[in-house]
Structure 1
Amino acid sequence: MSSRLKQIFIRPFGISLVVVFLCILAMSQKFSFFEYMELKTLDLRFQARGDILPGNNIALAVIDEKSLTQEGKWMWPRSKLATVVNKLSEAGAAVIAFDIVFSEPDEKSLSKHIHQIEKILTEKNIKNNALSGYLEELKLSTDNDYLLARAIQQSKSKIVLGFFLQMEAREVSHLKAKQLDLLQELAHPATYKVIKYNNAKAMEYSFLKAFAPHANIRQISLSSPYSGFFNIVPDPDGVIRTLPTLVKFRDDMYAPLSIKILSAYLEEEPQGIISDYGITSFSIGQQIDFPTDEKGMLYINYRGGEKTFPHLSVTDILNNKIDKYAVKDKIIIIGATAAGIFDEVSTPFDAVYPGPEIHANIIDMLLNQDYLYKPEWLDILTIFTMIVFGLGIGILLPKLGVLAGACSAVGIFAGYILFCQYLFTSHGWILNTVYPLAVILIIYSVMTAHTVFIESGQKRFIKNAFSTYLAPAVVKQLMDNPDTLVLGGEKRKITAFFSDIQSFTRISESLQPDEIVALLNEFLTQMTDIILKHNGTVDKFEGDAIIAFFGAPGEVINQEETACIVCLKMQQRLSELRNKWREQGKPELHMRIGMDTGTAVVGNMGSQNRMDYTMMGDTVNIAARLEGVNKVYGCYTLVSENTYIPAAANNAVFGREIDSVLLMGKEKPIVMYELIGFTDDIDDDTKAMVHHYSKALQAYRKQEWSTAIALFKKALSIFPEDKPSLTLLQRCRELNALPPSKNWNSAFKLTSK
C-alpha cells in the first residue's frame, strides 16, 4: 500500500479510536441525556413489538366510571367491598387482591353511633339485656371494617391485601418507635419468609429502604395471611419500567403485591438468595425463577396498553351481571380505574395507565416466564459493539464513496436497531441502543468531509481511467478496492450464462449491414439491460452471442433463482420485440440459452497491458454446451440441475426435467431442465403436459418403452408441437426396435460440441 493510502487510512482510524473512547467514557459516567434517550428507545421497542396476548388467569375488578354512577361516589362503605369479596368468592375466584389500602377506620360505619348510644345508656344506668344484645348485634352488622374483615376471613378465595411503604423520612418523622413497631407487625405478612445469605457480608448489602410501612388497620390486616406493597419506582422520565421486588425496613424484607398474589395463587413461598454483591436469584417455589438486577429491580414485560386484561366493573359484580367463568379459578385484582380516584402512572404504551393493571402485567409475565433481561454482562457486549462499529466504520468509510458510505452508515445504523429489536422481541434482551448508534453517527459525521474530498477524488480518477473499456461492475470493484488492479483470479461459485440467436447467419444474409447492426444493437441492449438490472455481469459479446455470469464480482443472493428469472424475463421481452419487429417487417429473432452453476475462476485475465474481467472453468464449458443442446431437443432455455434445483426451491420458476446427456469429453451425465415460465403464470394444460412428460421420462429410463411411448403421446395430445416430447417419442420407438446394451444408463450421448 502506498504511503499516501496509508495516510488516508490512519487518519480515519485515529478518529474512530477517539470517538469510541469518548463514548465509552460517557457510558461509564451515565450522562443524563444519553440515559434519557436510552429509556425512550426501550419504549419504542415495546411499541414496535406490539401487544402480547396474555393468559386467561387474571382479570381486574375495577371501580370505574360506571360503578361510580351506579353505586355512588368514592369512597364507598367497606361493607360494599365486603359484598364484592363475597360475590367473587362464591363465583370461584382463586385469589382476590386489593390494590387499595385501608389505613384508616371507615368513617361511614354506623357502629360508632351505636357505641355512643351504649355509652349514654350506661351513664343513665339503664339496663336491659335484650336491648344490650340487640345493640351489640346491630353494632357488628353496621361496622364496615368488621364486615370486610369477616368477608376476608370467611372467603373461600385467598385474599391478598395491599399497602404502601413510606420511602421518605419526612413522611414518618411524627411517628414514635411503638407506632413503627405496630406498623411493622401489621405489615409482617408481606415479608419474605425465606431469604438465604451466602455469607455474613451479604447481610450488609444495601437494598432499597423504606422508612415505614403504611399498613391496613389492625382489624383488616389480621384478617388475611397475605399482603404486599404496591409501591412503584418510576424512571427519571416518570415512566414505570421496573418493579422493586425487595424493599427493606429495619430487618424485614418486603415483597411487592404482585409477587405475593402469585405466591398465594401457586401456594408457594417466594424466596431469594443474596450474596455479598446483591441478589443472586429469586424464585417462587420450584416453578418460577425470575431475573432481577443486584438491587432486586425486575423489568416489566408489558403485554400492551390499557385493558389488555379483562376489566369487570364492580357494579356488575355487585348486581350479579358477570359470567362466573370470567372469575372462576382466576386471580382478581380489585382497584380503581375511574378518573380522579386512581394514581395516574405512565408506561411504555400509555402516558396514563391504571395501577392495578401493572400488577396484572407482572403476574402474567411471571406465570409465562417471558422476562426482559439486562444483565451486567450486556454492558460489556455494548462496549464491544461500540469498538467493532467504530473501528469497522473507520476502516470501511475511506474505501467507499459518499453515497455508498452514507448507505453503509444508514444500513449499519438501521441494522443495529433491527438487531436490538429482534433480541428484545424474540429473547427479551435489552441491549443498549443509544451509545453504539452515537458512535456510528459521530464517526460518520466527522469523517464525511474527509471521505468527500479525498476518497471521492481517487474514485473519480479510477472511473475516468477505466470505464471506457471495463464493465461497470468491474469498475465499481476497482473503485471499492484499487489494490485488486492486478492480474489473477479467485474461485467463486457462479451461474454461467450463454445465449445465441437461432439461425442468425441465415437472417443476416437477408439484411443490409446497417440493418443487421441496428437489429442486433436493439436486441443486445434490451437483453443486457435485464441482466444488469439483476446484478449480473456481462462478460462479453461474441457476434450475436451474450456471455454473462451471476455471483461475481459481487455476491448475488439466490443467484440460481435470479439467473432463471433473468432468462424468463429475457425470453418474455424477446417475444414482445418479435411482435414489434413483425409489425415493422423485420426478421423475428429466437434466442437459445444455456446455464450451469458451480465453481469457476473469476478475475482479471490477460496481460499486464490489457486484461478482461472474465470466467474460466468446467462450469463455463457446461453452460456453453447446454446452449447448443437446445438444438437437439427443440428447446430455447436449458439449465443444469445444479442451477434448477436451487432456483425452484422457492417455487418462483417452473420447468421440467428434459433428459440427461453425456457431453463429449465428459464421463458424468448432465441432467437438464427446461425453463418454461413463472410458476404463477403456468396454466393447467401446461402442468398436465409436464406431468405426462415426467412420467414418460421415468418409464424411458426404466426401458419401459411402450409405457413411455403412451405417456409421450399423452403429452403431445395436449401440446402437439412439443419438441422434447417428439424427440423422446422418436427415440423410444428406435430403442424399442433396437434395445440398448445392458450397461445403458439412459443418458443421451452427444457426438458433437
Structure 2
Amino acid sequence: MRRIGRGDIIAAILIALLAGAIFTSPPLQTLQGLSLDILTALRGRLIGDGRDPATSPVVVVAIDGETYDTPPFKGSPTQTWTREIGRVLGSIAEGGAKVIGFDVIFKNSIEQSEIPFGDAPLGARMKGFDRDYLIALRQLSDSGKLVLGDTLSNDHPDVPYRAQQVAVRNNIRALNVHTDTDDVIRRMPLSFSIQDRPVPAMAVELASRALGAKPEIGPSGVTDLSGYSIPSAVANTLTLNFRGMGRDVPTYSFADLRACVEKGDRDFFRRAFDGKVVLLGTVLNFEDRKLTSMRLSGGYDGTPAARCALPAPARTAQKARNDIAGVFVHAAVVRNLIERDAVTELGFPLRTVLTIVFAAIVGCAACMLAPGGALITWFALTAVYVAVAVGAFVHALALPLAEPALAGLAALAMMIGYRFIVADREERFLRKSFAFYLAPEVIDTMVASGKMPALGGEMRNVTMFFSDLSGFSSIAEAMTPGELVTLMNEYLSAMTDIIEGHGGYVDKYIGDSIVAMFGAPADDPAHARNAVRAALKCHQKLAELNASNAAFAGRALSQRIGLNSGAAVVGNIGSKRRFNYTVMSDTVNVASRLEGANKYYDTAIMASEATVAQTGDTFAWRELDAIRVLGRGEAIKVFEPLAEKDAESAEQKKVTAAYEEGLARWRAREFAEAVDAFEQTATIDPASTLFAKRARSLAANPPPPEWAPVNTLEGK
C-alpha cells in the first residue's frame, strides 16, 4: 500500500470537489432522475412489494380494448357513450365511492355535430342526447363526488365541452404532468396558478376530498395536506413513489361495469368502490402512454379486478412495460398522498456533499492502492452504497445514486492520472534507476518509506560487505573461459540473492569480489544484523555449492568476507554525464582491509567492533585480535561471527573459551600460559595455531616494555 503525503491529500480533496461539482451541476441534472429510475428498478427486483391491491385507496375504471370491442360500444364513437358513462358513474357513487376523477376529456358532444343528416345537421337531430349524462354530472358534482379533468396550455388547452363545464359548475382540475428534460415523468405538480391563486392539481384534489382536508401552502412554500408536509425536491411537485410498480391498483373494465349496471348488481359496486377514490381513464396500447421512473424495470397497467357480469377475456399474462397508461400516474399520486408515502429527495446541497464525500473516499483509495486495487475498491464501495441507498428507498428516501458512483469513477481516473503525471514520477524514477541494482523487496521498502536517495550524496550509517574468493586466480588459470563464466555466474547469482534477500545493495562486482552495503539506499535500522546474517548465509551457501553443484565440483572454493559499520557518504557519485550510486568513506576502506585480513587468521568472516556493537546480543562472537590495517594508524578490535546467539556448536564453544583465555594471557604478557591455552585447540583452529606460534616466539624472546598487543598487518 502506497503512503499518502500531504500533497496527495490536497489533490484528492480538489479532485473530489471537481468531480462532485461536475456530476451535480445543472447540465447533468438528468443524473438525479436516473438515480430515481435505478432505485425504483432495484427496489422492485430485490425487495418487491407484497401489498394486496384490495387495500388500495384508489381504483381505476379503464376504458380499455375490451370496452371498444364490446357492444354497445363496439363501432360507436366515444361521443355516443355519454349516457352509459353517466349510468356507470351513478352506480359507482351509489356504491360508496368517495370521489370520482376524470382522466379523459370529452371536448365535443354529438349534439354539436354539423354533419348533414337528411335536411338538417346531425347535431340538430340529436338534441337532448347528453341530457341524462349532464344530469348525472350535476348530481355527482353537487354531492362533491366528481371532478372533471382538463389540460392547461397557453396555445391549445384541452377542456370539456361547455355543457359539461356548466353541469359541474366549473368543478374541473388540471391533469398536466411534470416532465423532466429527458421526457420522463418522475414528479407531479401539486397546484397551478389560475387567476393568481393556487388551484390543486387533479390528484391532489381527489386526495384532499378523500381525506376531508384542503391543501395549504405554508410560508416556506411546502404544501401540507391533512398534517402531511409533502416533500418537494422541485418546488410545488411531489416525487412519485411507484412502490407497487402499478400492480397495487385494482383496474375494472368499463365494459364489465356497464354490463353490471344492466344486471342490477348493486352489491358488486358496493364491494368494489365503497370508500375508494375512483379514476376514469383510457388504458390502451397506443394512447396516453407515459414514461415514468419505472421505465428501467417496467411497470404495469394495474391489476385486473374482480368481474361482475362479463366473462374475462382471453388474455396472456401481464408483462411489464417501460411506459404505463397516464391514469396510473394520477393514481400513484393519490395513493402517495393518502398513505403519506411520497419519495423524499435530498436537496442540492446535501446531494453535492454526499457526492463529494464519496468521490473523496474513492480518490484516497486510488491514491493508496494500485489502479486495479482501486478499481476493485470502487466497485466494492459502490455496491455497499447501492445497498444502503436501496434500503433507504424502501423507506421512501431517495439518496443520489448515479452522481456519487460516476463522480467516484471520475475521481478514480483523475487520481490515477495525477499519480502517473505528478505523484509517482519519483517512484517510477526510483524503480527504473534501481531495478538492476536492488531486490524488488528493497525497492518496495524505499517506495513505502517515501524517502528518495539524495542526488550528490548524503551521510548515512551503513554496514559495508566485502567478499573475495581465496586463491581464485590460480584456480581460474586451470579453467576454460566457458567453465569460468558458468562458475562465476552461479557463484555471483547465489551470493547476490542472499545479499539482496537480507536488504543489501550490491554496489559492484570486481572479478570474483563483491562490494555491497546494508542500510542504503533503503533505510534499515538493523543493517548490521542483516549484514552479519547475510555473511553467515553466504558462507553456508558456498559450502552447499561446493558439495552439490557440478560447476564447483573439485574446486573447493573458499571465501573471505569483511564487515565494518559506520558513517559513509552514499549517493549518485560520478560525472555530470555518467554516475553510479555508490559509497565512499573510511568505513569502506576498513571493511576492505578486514576482508583481506582473514587470510592471516585463516578465517572466513571478520567484522569490526563497530559492527559487533550495532548487532547487540543477536550473535555469538569470538574476538580474534586487535589489528592495525594498512593505511590506518588506529588499532581496531576484530571479531569472527560464529552463529546466532545460543546456536553455536559445542566445538565452537570449546574453541572460543580456549581462545579467550589465550588472548587474555597474551595481552597480559603471560606468553607461556598463552601458549598452553592456544594449543588446547590448535589442531582444529588455524587462528589458535597462529597465536600459539606467536606466543611461543615472544616467550622465548620477551618484547620490550613499550610493546602493545596489536598485530600490524603488512599487506591488504
TM-score, normalised by the number of residues in structure 1: 0.47
Higher helix share: 1
TM-score, normalised by the number of residues in structure 2: 0.49
Q: Which of these two proteins has the greater Rg computed from alpha carbons? A: 2
